[in-house]
Every structure is written in C-alpha cells, then in structure tokens.
C-alpha cells in the first residue's frame, strides 16, 4: 500500500469525523411523557451507520489525494473530481460517525412535555403528547396496568462544511463544499411499564416518519474547467436544494429504579435521499438503510412531588 493511499485514507477518516452533518435520530423516548412539573436529564452515545456512503470510500480516498496534489491555477473536471464531489455529498447526507447528545425535558402540563437536545453541535427542539395511559409518578401512581402511548414532533437544523484545519486547509480552499439541512421527525411511541409508572423502567417501541430539506453546493476558489471538444470551458459554482422522506422503527429499554436509568436503544431507518445535480454535469442518486445503536443514562428530577390532578 503506497504512501499516497495511506494519506488519503487518513484524510477520508478526518473528513467523515469532522464534516458530519447527521440528523439526530436516535429515539430514546417512552410512551409516557415527563409528568407535570418534573424534569428528565440525560446523555446518549450513539453511532450512525449508513449503508449509502460506504460504497464511496475508495473513490473519495483516491480522488482526495488527486485533489491535494493539484498545484495548478485551475482544476480539470476529471473522473476523480466527479468521484470526490459524489462521495463528499454522500457522506454529508448521512455520515458513518459516532455522535453524542445531552438533553433536558420538562413536563409542561399533564400529557405534554417539551425538550431540548444538544447533539454533536446541533440544537434540537421537540414536544411529546401522551394520548394513552396514566400520568402519575412512582411515588404518586395512577393505574398500575396498561400501556402508554405518545406522539411527538422534533425539529433540528445544522450546517456542515469542509474545515480549514487538521491538514484539510488545501482541500477546503479548493472545493469549498457546504451543506445545510433542516430535519423534522414525528415518532409514534408505545411502551410497557416495569412496575407502577415505570418504577423499574420500561420497554418502548414504535415507528418514525422523517422529512429532510437539504441545501448544498460547491464554490471552488480555483477555476473549475472541462474540455468541450478542443476548447476549455469554465464550470460555474452552484447551490441546489433537495428534500426527501425517511421511515423508521425503533426499540429501546429503560432499566433502573425511580430516579436513574440506563437506556439502550436501536433505531433503523430507510430513505431514498433523492437525486442531486452536481455542476450540471452529473446527477447522483442515493438510497439505503441507517442503523443507530445507542446507550445512555437518564435522571428523573422532581418525581416525588405530590400531585393534585386526578389521573385518567
């Protein structure tokens, strides 16, 4: 294995880890929302494993090496450059990368809670409505039988670009790739309680619908050109928009006692990312599955408060 290929492999790894722009989609919610006046705080460590970008690894590695070695005032739109742009877009849409998140939830009224999550640099806001089951706490339980069910709405927005650091400054200054996204998730969650009002935890499962709006583009600092017959034609920079839907299912558990729980989870999504135009010279389509295993810790605060409202 030659030095260029090793350097390219290291470069690819840095690109994957640093330019990650993945939607926070690990579902750790229960069908029972946070009781009125109480808080949940938690931490999750996840891994986003998408099948669509994996096929691009070799092409991106080789093309990135070629791009870094380019010392001319202009860049010719070769197969290597086409592979690089295709690969960078695939990874930015759904990177293979570890993620972490911290979250806080608060019970606003009976059956409704709201949440904020900080997920690997992304701000996430959501709300859940509980349409099934009781709204008590382990210290002030309602009925001890039956399931809980809720539906939620989550919004997040973020931007990724190719950073000018860690040895990537040359590639960054050449291609100036940027991608921003806005994501909506609608999870439908059901859970069965371990003990009254999830005293010992729960088992949760459900389905998720997602919608993503993408804006992406390349604005090379060098002149990007191609041969048209015997002439050389300049290729302009561009910005485009695309959107797609995703469908998923999940299962998670909460294991502990009253105020502290471990939360293992697995979410699986399928999406057709759509078709993306690149410089008006190539059209790329992506689709595949995404697997998101996670493990977390959740703490419940204010659950011992006396409740005055009658449980339904």
What pLDDT was estimated at residue 213?
96
CA distances from 196 to 27, 113, 118, 148, 241 (A): 23, 20, 31, 12, 49
Residue 33 lies in a domain: yes
* Element holding 18 (H helix, E strand): helix 3-18
What pLDDT was estimated at residue 69?
58
Residue 88 lies in a domain: yes
What pLDDT was estimated at residue 290?
95
Here the CATH number for the domain that contains residue 294 is: 2.40.160.20
Residue 308 lies in a domain: no
Q: What is the DSSP string of 214-229?
A: EEEEE--SSEEEEEET
The CB-side HSE value for 8 (13 A sphere, CA atoms) comes to: 19
What pLDDT was estimated at residue 60?
63
Domain that holds residue 21: 3-301
Residue 20 lies in a domain: yes
Residue 311 lies in a domain: no
Domain count of the fold of the chain: 1
Residue 213 lies in a domain: yes
pLDDT tens track of the chain, all 312 residues?
444 444 444 444 444 444 456 778 999 999 999 999 999 999 999 999 988 877 666 566 666 666 655 666 778 888 878 887 887 788 788 888 888 999 999 999 999 999 999 998 899 999 999 999 999 888 888 766 789 999 999 999 988 755 444 444 456 667 788 889 999 999 999 999 999 999 999 999 999 999 999 999 988 877 888 888 888 899 999 999 999 999 999 999 999 999 999 999 999 999 999 999 999 899 989 999 999 999 999 999 987 665 554 444
Residue 178 lies in a domain: yes
Residue 307 lies in a domain: no
* Cα distance between the two ends of the chain: 67
45's CB contacts (< 8 A; 6+ apart) are: 98, 99, 100, 294, 295, 296
Say how far apart CA 98 and CA 75 lie, in whole Å. Answer: 33
């Amino acid at each position: 294995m030659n030095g260029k290929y090793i350097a390219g492999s290291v470069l690819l790894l840095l690109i994957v880890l640093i330019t990650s722009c993945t939607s926070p989609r690990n579902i750790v919610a229960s069908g029972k929302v946070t009781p009125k006046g109480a808080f949940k705080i938690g931490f999750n460590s996840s891994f986003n494993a998408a099948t669509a970008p994996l096929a691009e690894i070799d092409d991106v590695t080789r093309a990135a090496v070629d791009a870094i070695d380019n010392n001319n005032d202009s860049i010719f739109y070769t197969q290597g450059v086409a592979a690089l742009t295709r690969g960078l877009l695939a990874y930015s849409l759904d990177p293979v990368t570890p993620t972490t998140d911290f979250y806080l939830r608060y019970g606003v009224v009976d059956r409704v809670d709201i949440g904020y999550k900080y997920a690997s640099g992304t701000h996430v806001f959501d709300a859940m409505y509980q349409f099934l089951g009781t709204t008590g706490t382990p210290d002030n339980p309602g009925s001890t039988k039956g399931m809980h069910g809720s539906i939620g709405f989550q919004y997040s927005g973020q931007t990724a670009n190719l950073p000018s650091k860690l040895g990537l400054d040359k590639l960054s200054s050449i291609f100036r790739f940027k991608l921003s996204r806005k994501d909506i998730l609608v999870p439908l969650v059901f859970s069965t309680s371990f003990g009254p009002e999830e005293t010992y935890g729960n088992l949760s499962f459900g389905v998720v619908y997602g919608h993503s709006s993408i804006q992406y583009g390349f604005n090379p600092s060098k002149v990007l050109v191609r041969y048209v017959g015997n002439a050389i034609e300049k290729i302009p920079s561009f910005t485009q928009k695309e959107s797609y839907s995703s469908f998923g299912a999940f299962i998670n558990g909460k294991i502990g006692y009253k105020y502290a729980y471990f939360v293992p989870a697995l979410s699986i999504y399928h999406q057709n990312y759509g078709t993306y135009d690149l410089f008006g010279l190539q059209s790329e389509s992506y689709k595949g599955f995404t697997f998101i295993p996670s493990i977390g810790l959740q703490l419940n605060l204010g659950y011992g408060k006396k409740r005055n409202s009658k449980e339904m």
